[in-house]
Amino acid sequence: MSRYRGPRFKKIRRLGALPGLTSKRPRAGSDLRNQSRSGKKSQYRIRLEEKQKLRFHYGLTERQLLKYVRIAGKAKGSTGQVLLQLLEMRLDNILFRLGMALTIPQARQLVNHGHILVNGRIVDIPSYRCKPRDIITVKDEQNSRTLVQNLLESSAPEELPNHLTLHTFQYEGLVNQIIDRKCVGLKINELLVVEYYSRQT
């Protein structure tokens, strides 16, 4: 199944806030709450919606998400928490959380086009897994820095999660540690996602 490229507000209306999917805000008065046409939701639907929320927020294909769930299942610790850590430590998500991109798809484009360096080397793989003490910088070229400067200025100032540090004037971000569960940028019940995939892992 390919990555979703359809109308983004349609997904937000059904699943709730997905900050990584779009930087646009709904018009005043429009109701984007998760609405159920049929009244009470089945347990399957609740789990499916949590899984879809995770998938659309981080911009993953179904296959990629299943792969992450399998990796998390083999790791030590809570599968759900490990899954969120794996997704949050992706390079495209780190750029989004640093404010160097307005959305995760935009961050993915920056990486694909070779604007981003990790520890001094160009990385053009958005799914690259960042580690503590990694230094993420913008390529030392005028067009790369101008592009990121414009994005930093237009992004809404939010409190940076404690696992990241941003040095705006050096166009540099630092990964301090593995993200803590309470700093994850999405309201999600990760246990329901793990339960959804339990038959496939």
Which CATH number is 30's domain given? 1.10.1050.10
Alpha-carbon distance 195 to 86, whole Å? 18
Q: What is the mean pLDDT of the chain?
A: 83
- Give the other-Cβ count within 10 Å of 117's Cβ: 18
Per the structure, how many domains does the chain have? Answer: 2
Alpha-carbon distance 164 to 36, whole Å? 37
Alpha-carbon distance 136 to 125, whole Å? 13
Alpha-carbon distance 171 to 145, whole Å? 7
| 159 and 192 belong to one structural domain | no
Token digits for 122?
């160009």
Residue 141 placed within a domain: yes
More confident residue, 129 or 49: 129
**Residues 6+ away with beta carbon under 8 Å from 37:** none
Alpha-carbon distance 184 to 82, whole Å? 12
Highest mean pLDDT among 43-52, 106-115, 185-194: 106-115
Domain of 141, CATH number, reads: 3.10.290.10
| 95 and 173 belong to one structural domain | yes
Q: Residue 11 in contact with residue 56, Cβ under 8 Å?
A: yes
User: Is the CA virtual torsion 27, 28, 32, 36 positive or negative?
Assistant: negative
Domain that holds residue 37: 8-87+186-197
Helices (H) then strands (E): counts for the chain:
8, 5
Query: pLDDT per residue over 108-165, tens digit each?
Result: 999 999 999 999 999 999 999 999 999 999 999 988 999 999 888 877 667 788 899 9
**Residues 6+ away with beta carbon under 8 Å from 63:** 1
pTM for the whole thing? 0.82
| 70 and 115 belong to one structural domain | no
More confident residue, 21 or 41: 41
Mean pLDDT within 75-96: 94
